[in-house]
Amino acid sequence: MTASATKVRRSPRQLFAMAVGAVFLLVGVLGFIPGVTTNYDQLTGAGHESGALLLGMFQVSILHNIVHLAFGIAGILLSRTVKGAKSFLIVGGVIYLVLWLYGLLIDHGSAANFVPLNSADNWLHLGLGLGMIVLGVVPVSGAKAPIADSR
Protein backbone atom coordinates (compact mmCIF):
# COMPACT_ATOMS: atom_id res chain seq x y z
CA MET A 1 0.00 0.00 0.00
CA THR A 2 1.45 3.36 -1.05
CA ALA A 3 0.81 6.48 0.98
CA SER A 4 0.04 9.56 -1.06
CA ALA A 5 1.93 12.78 -0.43
CA THR A 6 -0.12 15.67 0.90
CA LYS A 7 1.34 19.13 0.58
CA VAL A 8 0.31 21.70 3.15
CA ARG A 9 0.53 25.21 1.78
CA ARG A 10 0.76 28.37 3.85
CA SER A 11 0.63 32.03 2.87
CA PRO A 12 3.64 34.23 3.67
CA ARG A 13 1.70 35.79 6.57
CA GLN A 14 1.00 32.33 7.98
CA LEU A 15 4.71 31.56 7.76
CA PHE A 16 5.52 34.83 9.56
CA ALA A 17 3.09 33.99 12.37
CA MET A 18 4.44 30.44 12.61
CA ALA A 19 8.03 31.72 12.78
CA VAL A 20 7.19 34.33 15.44
CA GLY A 21 5.32 31.69 17.44
CA ALA A 22 8.24 29.27 17.18
CA VAL A 23 10.66 31.93 18.40
CA PHE A 24 8.45 32.70 21.40
CA LEU A 25 8.20 28.98 22.15
CA LEU A 26 11.98 28.69 21.99
CA VAL A 27 12.46 31.74 24.24
CA GLY A 28 10.03 30.27 26.77
CA VAL A 29 11.99 27.01 26.89
CA LEU A 30 15.37 28.78 27.04
CA GLY A 31 14.16 30.78 30.04
CA PHE A 32 14.16 27.51 32.01
CA ILE A 33 17.68 26.43 31.02
CA PRO A 34 20.49 27.28 33.43
CA GLY A 35 23.42 28.82 31.61
CA VAL A 36 21.27 30.28 28.87
CA THR A 37 19.48 32.00 31.75
CA THR A 38 22.07 33.49 34.09
CA ASN A 39 21.44 33.77 37.83
CA TYR A 40 19.11 30.80 37.40
CA ASP A 41 19.11 30.24 41.17
CA GLN A 42 17.36 33.62 41.47
CA LEU A 43 14.46 32.63 39.18
CA THR A 44 11.21 33.33 41.03
CA GLY A 45 7.57 32.66 40.23
CA ALA A 46 6.81 36.28 39.38
CA GLY A 47 7.74 39.79 40.40
CA HIS A 48 10.63 42.18 40.23
CA GLU A 49 12.63 40.13 42.75
CA SER A 50 13.58 37.62 40.08
CA GLY A 51 17.25 38.07 39.30
CA ALA A 52 17.31 35.54 36.46
CA LEU A 53 18.40 36.97 33.11
CA LEU A 54 17.75 35.28 29.78
CA LEU A 55 20.95 35.58 27.73
CA GLY A 56 22.35 37.61 30.63
CA MET A 57 20.16 40.53 29.58
CA PHE A 58 16.39 40.08 29.78
CA GLN A 59 14.84 39.72 33.23
CA VAL A 60 12.64 36.62 33.42
CA SER A 61 10.55 34.73 35.94
CA ILE A 62 8.58 31.51 35.78
CA LEU A 63 5.47 33.56 34.87
CA HIS A 64 7.40 35.43 32.15
CA ASN A 65 8.62 32.13 30.65
CA ILE A 66 5.14 30.61 30.76
CA VAL A 67 3.73 33.68 28.98
CA HIS A 68 6.36 33.22 26.24
CA LEU A 69 5.42 29.55 25.91
CA ALA A 70 1.69 30.33 25.73
CA PHE A 71 2.25 33.13 23.23
CA GLY A 72 4.36 30.79 21.09
CA ILE A 73 1.73 28.06 21.12
CA ALA A 74 -0.95 30.63 20.23
CA GLY A 75 1.14 31.86 17.28
CA ILE A 76 1.69 28.37 15.94
CA LEU A 77 -1.98 27.42 16.31
CA LEU A 78 -3.27 30.67 14.83
CA SER A 79 -0.89 30.38 11.88
CA ARG A 80 -3.09 27.56 10.54
CA THR A 81 -5.37 30.13 8.88
CA VAL A 82 -4.61 33.39 7.09
CA LYS A 83 -7.08 35.28 9.29
CA GLY A 84 -5.69 33.73 12.47
CA ALA A 85 -2.12 34.54 11.45
CA LYS A 86 -3.00 38.15 10.73
CA SER A 87 -4.87 38.48 14.02
CA PHE A 88 -2.00 36.96 15.98
CA LEU A 89 0.54 39.33 14.45
CA ILE A 90 -1.53 42.50 14.81
CA VAL A 91 -3.14 41.83 18.20
CA GLY A 92 0.10 40.35 19.55
CA GLY A 93 1.98 43.40 18.31
CA VAL A 94 -0.48 45.72 20.06
CA ILE A 95 -0.11 43.69 23.26
CA TYR A 96 3.67 44.09 23.07
CA LEU A 97 3.36 47.84 22.50
CA VAL A 98 1.11 48.09 25.57
CA LEU A 99 3.65 46.02 27.52
CA TRP A 100 6.41 48.39 26.32
CA LEU A 101 4.45 51.42 27.58
CA TYR A 102 3.69 49.63 30.85
CA GLY A 103 7.38 48.87 31.32
CA LEU A 104 8.28 52.51 30.72
CA LEU A 105 5.71 53.84 33.18
CA ILE A 106 6.13 51.53 36.16
CA ASP A 107 8.84 51.60 38.79
CA HIS A 108 10.93 48.49 38.03
CA GLY A 109 11.59 48.00 41.74
CA SER A 110 7.91 48.00 42.70
CA ALA A 111 5.26 45.32 43.02
CA ALA A 112 3.71 46.70 39.80
CA ASN A 113 6.62 45.03 37.96
CA PHE A 114 5.02 41.61 38.33
CA VAL A 115 6.11 40.17 34.95
CA PRO A 116 9.16 41.22 35.57
CA LEU A 117 10.56 43.77 33.11
CA ASN A 118 13.83 45.63 32.79
CA SER A 119 15.06 48.24 30.30
CA ALA A 120 16.29 45.59 27.84
CA ASP A 121 12.84 43.94 27.93
CA ASN A 122 11.15 47.29 27.32
CA TRP A 123 13.07 48.06 24.15
CA LEU A 124 12.74 44.51 22.90
CA HIS A 125 8.98 44.79 23.41
CA LEU A 126 8.91 47.98 21.33
CA GLY A 127 10.74 46.22 18.48
CA LEU A 128 8.55 43.12 18.75
CA GLY A 129 5.35 45.13 18.81
CA LEU A 130 6.24 47.23 15.78
CA GLY A 131 7.69 44.25 13.89
CA MET A 132 4.66 42.05 14.49
CA ILE A 133 2.24 44.77 13.42
CA VAL A 134 4.23 45.40 10.25
CA LEU A 135 4.22 41.66 9.46
CA GLY A 136 0.47 41.62 10.09
CA VAL A 137 -0.43 44.55 7.85
CA VAL A 138 2.19 44.68 5.09
CA PRO A 139 0.74 43.51 1.79
CA VAL A 140 1.99 40.04 0.92
CA SER A 141 1.55 37.94 -2.15
CA GLY A 142 -1.51 35.72 -2.18
CA ALA A 143 0.66 32.84 -3.37
CA LYS A 144 0.99 29.94 -1.01
CA ALA A 145 4.37 28.50 -0.17
CA PRO A 146 4.90 24.79 0.51
CA ILE A 147 5.69 24.10 4.15
CA ALA A 148 5.47 20.40 4.69
CA ASP A 149 5.31 17.15 2.81
CA SER A 150 3.67 14.38 4.79
CA ARG A 151 3.31 10.82 3.72
31-43 pLDDT tens trace: 999 999 999 999 9
pLDDT at 121 over 50: yes
pLDDT at 107 over 50: yes
Transcribe 24-51 into DSSP letters: HHHHHHHTTSBTTEETGGG--SSSTT--
- Specify burial of residue 30 (Cβ count, 10 A radius: 0-12, 13-18, 19+): middle
**Average confidence (pLDDT) over 102-116:** 89
pLDDT at 51 over 70: yes
**Predicted pLDDT at 5:** 58
- Specify burial of residue 50 (Cβ count, 10 A radius: 0-12, 13-18, 19+): buried
**Average confidence (pLDDT) over 16-44:** 96
pLDDT single digits (tens) 73-87: 999 999 999 999 999
Q: Dihedral, CA atoms, 126, 130, 131, 137, nearest 10 degrees? A: 160
Residue pair 55/36 in contact by the 8 Å Cβ criterion: yes
**Average confidence (pLDDT) over 108-137:** 92
Question: Residue 99: which of 114, 84, 89, 111 has the closest Cα?
Answer: 114
Question: Residue 88: which of 14, 12, 6, 27 has the closest Cα?
Answer: 14
Distance CA 69, CA 63 (A): 10
DSSP state letter for 21: H
**Average confidence (pLDDT) over 18-32:** 97
